Amino acid sequence: MKKYWTLSLSVFVFASAVAQVNTGSELKQLINKSFGYFPKVKEVENGIQTATDKLKLTELNRYPDVTGDASYAYVLPKIAIPLNGESFQFAPVHNLSAAVNANYVLFDFGRLKANIDKSKQDLSLATHNVDYVKNQLASQVATVYYNISYLRSAIAIQDSVLAYLQDNKKMVESQLKNGTALKIDLLNIQASIDNEENRKVDLQNNLEKQFNLLEFTTGSRDDHEMGFGFEINLTDLSSALGIAATQHPDFLLARDRIKQAEADLAISKLAEKPVVGLRSAVGTKNGYVPYINDLRPNFYAGISFSIPIYNGGKHKQMQQVQQRMVQQQELAVETLNSVYRKELEQAFTDIASNLERIKNTAGQLEQARAAQVLAANRFKNGTGTNLEITNASTNVQRAALSRLQYQYQLCLAKIELARLMGYHYWE
């Protein structure tokens, strides 16, 4: 494999450490149209707004909580004792109270900051998730776009083959009338025409399916003049992997997950810290001796201190779990590196092999076309046979389709390389 890879690299002219993609404006328009149409993009974009709202919600915890309370209670038995010959009541039967309460965390030893950092990481992940979905969708639209281009070209080849066979059929019909051809020659050519017509029907059916996919992803069936104009300037495998690791959403999401796990770990470490808060209230209530039924203004203010003492080791265990999660996400990045190295190497190999195949088919196609002309002339002059014409037509078709197939595969390999490297070729 390494030897083949070394040979493959000789096919390319490496421009620079940073590659660029050039493609047609029609494809860019279709991809951008899909971003505004495809429901999955709207779904993940809504995730950004949700994460933004959650961040704002977390930041609001830096402000005090103010509540208003009002209560009424009917209390029996009545609390009263005899005093100086009279019944003296210590508490009202009808208890009324109304107050405005305020609570404010004075010191949380980093809890709020840790939670804000976690919310920011959630927002970063949601943003990179949109990039990931767009990257995948762009690759899908580009593939459908060039599938259509391939099928159209294949149908054009079929039409040329059918036109060639129809011309020869007319010659056979003429020769049959003159007694210089056999009925079986005409039947053989008609059988060949029928086979090629069936192949064309299959191609047209596949083309219709691709237009359906195009409509599914973009909401339209735009019928542009398409080719295989997808060009990417190439770099070496190591540089390509470095570019992918820097800008591909897969890697960005992986690093976001590491930061999320680290933020969760930081929060879990703060669970054993104390909390110092301020409390105050102002309001009115009854029950104050000696005029227990009169509503009187009241106020209180104080400081609270809360610290965990014992919870059975839950905090320590939670920290251990979160530390494992950090390690797991770091290992996931290593796995991602390995997978992308393999896929990038395969994309480079596919590009190299298809370039070589295209080069080889150029001579084959020229030879097949020359043989086709020769067979037609021989048949017209009465020295050739129907079998020669059919074989010549088949050979031209095979050579043309082979060349087209390699051009198509080369284009798909370039699309895959652009996807793996995270290029925004639709911009």
Domain boundaries in the chain? Answer: 2-76+110-275+313-421
Across 20-110, where does the E strand assignment appear?
A: 21-22, 65-74, 80-83, 86-89, 94-107
- The whole-number pLDDT of residue 150 equals 92
The SS3 of residue 82 is strand
Q: CA nearest 365: which of 331, 400, 409, 332?
A: 400
Which of the 8 DSSP states describes residue 424?
A: -
How many Å apart are CA 80 and CA 88, to the nearest integer? Answer: 5
Name the residue with higher pLDDT: 103 or 383: 103
- The whole-number pLDDT of residue 225 equals 64
Label residue 178 exposed, middle or buried (CB < 10 Å: 0-12, 13-18, 19+). Answer: exposed
Question: Model confidence at 4, in pLDDT bands (50, 70, 90)?
Answer: very low
- The whole-number pLDDT of residue 181 equals 66
What distances in angstroms separate CA 253 from CA 41, 247, 321, 341, one per listed residue? 16, 10, 21, 18
Question: Model confidence at 8, in pLDDT bands (50, 70, 90)?
Answer: very low
* CATH topology classification for 2-76+110-275+313-421: Outer membrane efflux proteins (OEP) (1.20.1600)
- Least confident segment among 13-22, 122-131, 200-209, 317-326: 13-22
Residue 18 has pLDDT above 50, yes or no: no
Residue 309 has pLDDT above 80, yes or no: yes
> What's the pLDDT tens digit per position in 252-277?
999 999 999 999 999 999 988 899 99
Structure tokens at 95: 């208890």
Name the residue with higher pLDDT: 375 or 27: 27
Q: What is the mean pLDDT of the chain?
A: 85
Q: Do the beta carbons of residue 19 and residue 421 sit within 8 Å? A: yes
Q: CA nearest 229: which of 149, 347, 138?
A: 149
Q: Which residues lie below 8 Å from residue 287, measured CB to CB, with a gap of 6+? A: 91, 92, 95
The SS3 of residue 90 is coil
How many Å apart are CA 112 and CA 30, to the nearest integer? Answer: 45
What is the distance in angstroms between the CA of the first residue and the CA of the last residue of the chain?
35
Name the residue with higher pLDDT: 220 or 97: 97
Could you tell me the pTM of the whole model?
Answer: 0.81
Residue 386 has pLDDT above 90, yes or no: no
Question: Model confidence at 114, in pLDDT bands (50, 70, 90)?
Answer: very high
How many Å apart are CA 87 and CA 74, to the nearest integer? Answer: 20
Q: CA nearest 130: which of 270, 252, 3?
A: 252
How many Å apart are CA 415 and CA 103, to the nearest integer? Answer: 58
Structure tokens at 199: 């192949």
Q: Radius of gyration over alpha carbons of the chain, in Å?
A: 39
Structure tokens at 370: 């020359």
Structure tokens at 299: 């106020």
> What's the pLDDT tens digit per position in 280-307?
999 999 888 888 888 899 998 999 998 8
> What's the pLDDT tens digit per position in 186-229?
788 888 889 889 999 999 999 999 999 999 999 888 766 667 77
Residue 313 has pLDDT above 80, yes or no: yes
Q: CA nearest 425: which of 239, 252, 153, 233?
A: 233
> What's the pLDDT tens digit per position in 128-140?
999 999 999 999 9
What distances in angstroms separate CA 412 from CA 144, 234, 405, 425, one per listed residue? 10, 15, 11, 14
Across 189-266, where does the E strand assignment appear?
A: 231-232
Q: Do the beta carbons of residue 422 and residue 248 sit within 8 Å? A: yes
Across 267-388, where does the E strand assignment appear?
A: 275-285, 296-306
How many Å apart are CA 144 and CA 410, to the nearest integer? Answer: 15
Our CA angle for 354, 249, 326, nearest 5°, is 125
Residue position matching structure tokens 């110092």:
276
Percent of the chain, pLDDT > 90? Answer: 51
Q: Do the beta carbons of residue 193 and residue 165 sit within 8 Å? A: yes
Measured in degrees and rounded to the nearest 5, phi and psi for residue 83 equal: -145, 115
- The whole-number pLDDT of residue 226 equals 64
Q: For the CA atoms of 241, 246, 247, 250, what is the dihedral angle to 10 degrees? A: 70
- The whole-number pLDDT of residue 5 equals 39
> What's the pLDDT tens digit per position in 363-377?
777 777 777 778 777
Highest mean pLDDT (candidates 125-139, 227-241, 302-316, 372-386): 125-139
> What's the pLDDT tens digit per position in 323-337?
999 999 999 999 999
Taking residues 303-320, what's their average pLDDT? 88
- The whole-number pLDDT of residue 224 equals 65
How many Å apart are CA 251 and CA 292, to the nearest integer? Answer: 70
Q: Do the beta carbons of residue 379 and residue 171 sit within 8 Å? A: yes
Residue 417 has pLDDT above 60, yes or no: yes
